[in-house]
Amino acid sequence: MSESQTGRSEAYGPDAIQLPPLYAWPPKIVEAIRYITFDLLFPWGFIYLGIAVLFWHFLTPSMETMSEFSPGWMAAIWIRNALMLTAIAGGLHWWLYMRRHQAGRYKFDSRWQATGDRRFLWGDQVKDNMFWSLVSGVTIWTLYECVTLWFYASGRQPLLSVSDYPVYFAICVPLVLLWSTTHFYFVHRLLHVKPIYDIAHELHHRNVNIGPWAGISMHPLEHLLYFSLFVLWWFVPVHPIIVILTGLFQGASPSVTHSGFDYLDLGKGRKVTVGDYFHQLHHRHFHVNYGNTPTPFDKAFGSWHDGTEAGREVVKRRMRSKRTSIQSGSG
């Protein structure tokens, strides 16, 4: 997919994307800790952690109830997750796209969400995204979460309390995000293999100009692969709060990073990060930035686009390589 095929209209471009200090050599311990605390987790990571704690204590069935599969408690978790996604994606969509509180300020693409486009269900990008996110996305997210919670409730995995393992619990919080981004890179590369792309991933890539509801608007096959990161907790014991947090990182946070805006303008010079320019560039250029910046596999494998002119050269090289491989295959 070339830039001309995307029909994009670039409106705002942040500074060049840098490698995080986690991978500096010699190591920069203070900078790495600051990055994890303030860039990786603040504010959204801590918000999701707070929500996970509340969900565990007030909106998750008892371990006794979850020790056996039952449509009742699984449906309750589906409703909880669906309402959470609707609150985040719907709230951002209302504020940024319906109310247009900050107009086009900090918006990566000057266009708004598509209507009258036959690529989308009912010709409406937002309705299409909501359908795939809620009907397929939340359902498969919930199924993985329920099976994982059942592993702990049924005694197949030990239940680790926060009071007994406070350091392990604290380490698990950033590790969940790092595991999520690592898992995402390799699943995403698989999804770009042509047969799987044509069957499944093409649906997500219809969203060149992304918005909050595009985050987990995917084909069911992609959802099965995307949410399979829960499987790690079938073998590595963690507290159920970490299980719930995994779902929030994987299911709810893409609504924020797909917001289409770099910042949420809070007024009086205050703003909070909502967008992910690195992933925005993937939706725009297709053959770059398969992962996320916290685990920079793209840098190692030559698909890192930093948003600069040098990054555009990466796109051109990869497009030439892609055309050559297609021509060789057809020959």
pLDDT at 326: 54
| Concatenated DSSP letters of 246-280 | HHIIIIIHHHHHTSSBSEEEEETTEEEE---HHHH
Query: pLDDT (tens digit, 9 = 90+) per residue, 266-316?
Result: 999 999 999 999 999 999 999 999 999 999 999 999 999 999 988 888 777
pLDDT beyond 70 at 153: yes
In this structure, is residue 11 part of a structural domain? Answer: no
Residue 26 lies in a domain: yes
Beta carbons within 8 Å of 13's beta carbon, 6+ residues apart: 108, 277, 307
Alpha carbon 243 to its chain's center: 16
Residue pLDDT, tens place only, 76-86:
999 999 999 99
Residue 309 is predicted with a pLDDT of 85
Whether 7 is covered by a domain: the verdict is no
Residues found in the chain: 331
pLDDT at residue number 317: 79
Output the pLDDT for position 2.
34
- For residue 322, pLDDT over 90 is answered with no
At 14 the pLDDT is 84
State what percent of residues in the chain have pLDDT above 70. Answer: 94
Tell me how far apart the alpha carbons of residues 19 and 125 are, in angstroms, rounded to a whole number. 33
Mean pLDDT over 239-249 rounds to: 99
pLDDT digits (tens, 9 = 90+) for 90-142: 999 999 999 999 999 999 999 999 999 999 999 999 999 999 999 999 999 99
Distance CA 36, CA 122 (A): 42
CA distance 116 to 261: 23
Q: Give the per-residue pLDDT at 313.
A: 81
Using the Cα atoms of residue 130, residue 206, residue 273 and residue 300 in order, give the sign of their dihedral.
positive
Residue 190, in any domain of the structure: yes
Q: What is the pLDDT of residue 1?
A: 34
Residue 1: inside a domain: no
- Residue 324 pLDDT: 66
Q: Which of 51, 57, 4 has its CA nearest to residue 256?
A: 51
As a whole number of angstroms, the distance between CA 16 and CA 278 comes to 10
Confidence of residue 10 (pLDDT cuts 50, 70, 90): low
Domain count, the chain: 1
Does the structure show a pLDDT above 60 at 154? Answer: yes
pLDDT over 90 at 222, yes or no: yes
pLDDT tens, position by position, 168-193: 999 999 999 999 999 999 999 999 99
Least confident residue range of 14-23, 52-61, 238-247: 14-23
Task: Tell me what pLDDT residue 327 has.
Answer: 53
Residue 165 lies in a domain: yes
Q: Which pLDDT score, from 0 to 100, does residue 320 have?
A: 76
Q: Which amino acid would we find at residue 90?
A: G
**Structural tokens at position 146:** 């329920």
pLDDT at 238 (0 to 100):
98
The residues, ordered by sequence, that sit 6+ positions from 175 with a Cβ below 8 Å of its Cβ are: none
Share of the chain above pLDDT 90, in %: 86
Give me the pLDDT at residue 300, please.
93
- Is residue 125 assigned to a domain? yes
Domain that holds residue 149: 16-330
Q: Does any domain span residue 10?
A: no
User: What is the average pLDDT score of the chain?
Assistant: 93
Split at pLDDT 50, 70, 90, the class of 3 is very low
Amino acid at 122: W
